[in-house]
């Protein structure tokens, strides 16, 4: 039995991401208390998790050392915030992506927990200095930004508030590693964090290439899925450069520096993602995958199946 057996984590907000975090932490042997301010929602979350854990077990994709029943036994739902927070050393907030909602939730939480409890937010786009502005002791605050679905896509961006203590970052990093996620540390806060900044750079250039009539929607997606994406599931852009020249990165820069700068200088302005271009790109996309629930759900299912397979493959390497 590991030392985590008695350790408690509270999830505040039990939507898509709150449920995923609960599964991840339970897989690591943590006791997880789930709170939602919608009556009945936290209990519903546990029903949904039970179903998902059953499916995962069947697919031999259940994470952690514990079986489904043992993991389920670690979960409880709570209608009262104070009760949900009792005994927890780590709080993962997963409420709506609205600044005011997050600010007031953290204000309430701080009033109910001890001084050493870590306050962590799942926000995708809000900055720590905004989210935690009403917390008195901000040295214990951090953002732990997951990627959807966290059960297969394990990256967690850890983003500190300017006042976050180094030990809070270290404890969060260790926790994420222990439950099988892959944390990365941002050294300071920045709009979009790292993942969305890189993602938006890719989206923007893909958009410009289609808008400028260089390539079709279908083919730019193939550039990623059959080209860059093949490598990027295993090695990042830095290692890619390092491996792509006989003598490594320095050699790569010697060979390709000028070419990279020339191409990058030719990039167009930030697209406005609206108007005629948006209309025609949306139409082109809808011809490939109609924008109705039936087709979208089928493609989402396919995506999640493929991610499951990729996660399995990555486990072996
Ligand atoms: N969905 C994603 O792909 C994704 C990925 C990474 C991060 N996130 C972030 O995770 C957070 C949650 O997103 P989601 O997709 O799970 O949203 P969601 O709408 O599925 O769930 C939000 C839940 O929070 C509850 N809630 C709202 N206000 C609350 C309050 N004051 N106290 C307690 N519970 C409250 C709601 O009842 C709901 O159950 C957001 O900040 C989002 O940006 C989402
Ligand atoms: C602030 O939070 C840090 C980190 O959890 C903790 O060590 C410290 O004691 C807290 N300070 C006060 C005044 O509560």
pLDDT of residue 316: 83
**Candidates 12, 17, 98, 144: which one to mutate for ligand 1, based on the most atoms within 8 Å of Cβ?**
17
**Candidates 12, 15, 105: which one to mutate for ligand 1, based on the most atoms within 8 Å of Cβ?**
15
pLDDT of residue 317: 77
Angle, to 10 degrees, between the axis of helix 275-288 and the axis of helix 195-211?
A: 90
Fold (CATH) for 8-185: Rossmann fold (3.40.50)
Q: Residues spanned by CATH 3.40.50.720 within the chain?
A: 8-185
The residue count for the chain: 317
For residue 2, how far is its CA from the centre of ligand 1 (angstroms)? 30
The number of angstroms, rounded, from the C-alpha of 230 to the middle of its chain's C-alpha atoms is: 20
- Helix residue ranges per DSSP H, 229-274: 229-232, 237-243, 249-265
pLDDT tens track, the chain, 317 positions: 444 546 999 999 999 999 999 999 999 999 999 999 999 999 999 999 999 999 999 988 899 999 999 999 999 999 999 999 999 999 999 999 999 999 999 999 999 999 999 999 999 999 999 999 999 999 999 999 999 989 989 999 999 999 999 999 999 999 999 999 999 999 999 999 999 999 999 999 999 999 999 999 999 999 999 999 999 999 999 999 999 999 999 999 999 999 999 999 999 999 999 999 999 999 999 999 999 999 999 999 999 889 989 988 988 87
* Closest atom of ligand 2 relative to the 117 alpha carbon: 5
pLDDT of residue 262: 98
Residue 170: CB within 6 Å of ligand 2? Answer: no
Angstrom distance (rounded) from CA 8 to CA 24:
13
CATH number for region 195-315? 1.10.1040.10
pLDDT of residue 59: 87
Residue 181's nearest CA partner among 146, 129, 211 is: 146
Residue 146: CB within 6 Å of ligand 1? Answer: yes
Whether the Cβ atoms of residue 39 and residue 14 lie closer than 8 Å to each other: no
Whether the Cβ atoms of residue 134 and residue 106 lie closer than 8 Å to each other: yes
Residue 163: CB within 6 Å of ligand 2? Answer: no
pLDDT of residue 44: 98
Assign residue 29 a region (left: φ > 0; alpha: ψ between -120 and 50; beta: otherwise). Answer: left
pLDDT of residue 312: 87
Whether the Cβ atoms of residue 277 and residue 217 lie closer than 8 Å to each other: no
SS3 144: strand
Q: Residues spanned by CATH 1.10.1040.10 within the chain?
A: 195-315
Residue 97: CB within 6 Å of ligand 1? Answer: yes
Counting ligands in written order, the one closest to the CA of 161 is 2
Whether the Cβ atoms of residue 217 and residue 288 lie closer than 8 Å to each other: yes
């Amino acid at each position: 039995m590991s030392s985590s057996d008695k350790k408690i984590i509270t999830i505040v907000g039990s939507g898509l991401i709150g449920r995923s975090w609960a599964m991840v932490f339970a897989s690591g042997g943590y006791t997880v208390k789930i709170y939602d301010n919608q009556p009945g929602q936290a209990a519903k979350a546990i029903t949904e998790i039970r179903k998902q854990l059953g499916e995962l077990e069947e697919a031999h994709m259940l994470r952690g050392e514990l079986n489904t029943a043992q993991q389920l036994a670690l979960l409880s739902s709570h209608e009262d915030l104070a009760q949900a927070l009792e005994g927890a050393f780590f709080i993962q907030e997963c409420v709506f992506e609205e600044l005011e909602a997050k600010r007031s939730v953290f204000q309430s939480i701080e009033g109910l927990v001890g001084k050493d409890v870590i306050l962590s937010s799942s926000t995708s786009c809000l900055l720590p200095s905004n989210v935690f502005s009403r917390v008195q002791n901000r040295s214990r605050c951090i953002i732990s930004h997951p990627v959807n679905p966290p059960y297969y896509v394990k990256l967690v961006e850890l983003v500190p508030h300017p006042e976050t203590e180094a030990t809070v970052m270290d404890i969060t990093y260790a926790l994420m590693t222990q439950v099988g996620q892959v944390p990365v540390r941002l050294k300071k806060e920045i709009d979009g964090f790292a993942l969305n900044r890189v993602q938006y750079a890719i989206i923007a250039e893909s958009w410009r290439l289609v808008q400028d009539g260089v390539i079709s929607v279908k083919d730019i997606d193939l550039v990623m899925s059959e080209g860059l994406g093949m490598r990027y599931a295993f090695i990042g852009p830095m290692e890619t450069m390092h491996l792509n020249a006989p003598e490594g990165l320095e050699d790569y820069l010697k060979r390709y520096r000028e070419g990279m700068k020339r191409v990058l200088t030719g990039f167009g302005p930030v697209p406005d993602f609206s108007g005629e271009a948006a209309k025609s790109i949306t139409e082109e996309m809808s011809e490939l995958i109609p924008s109705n629930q039936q087709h979208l759900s089928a493609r989402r299912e396919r995506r999640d199946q493929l991610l499951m397979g990729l996660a399995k493959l990555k486990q072996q390497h």
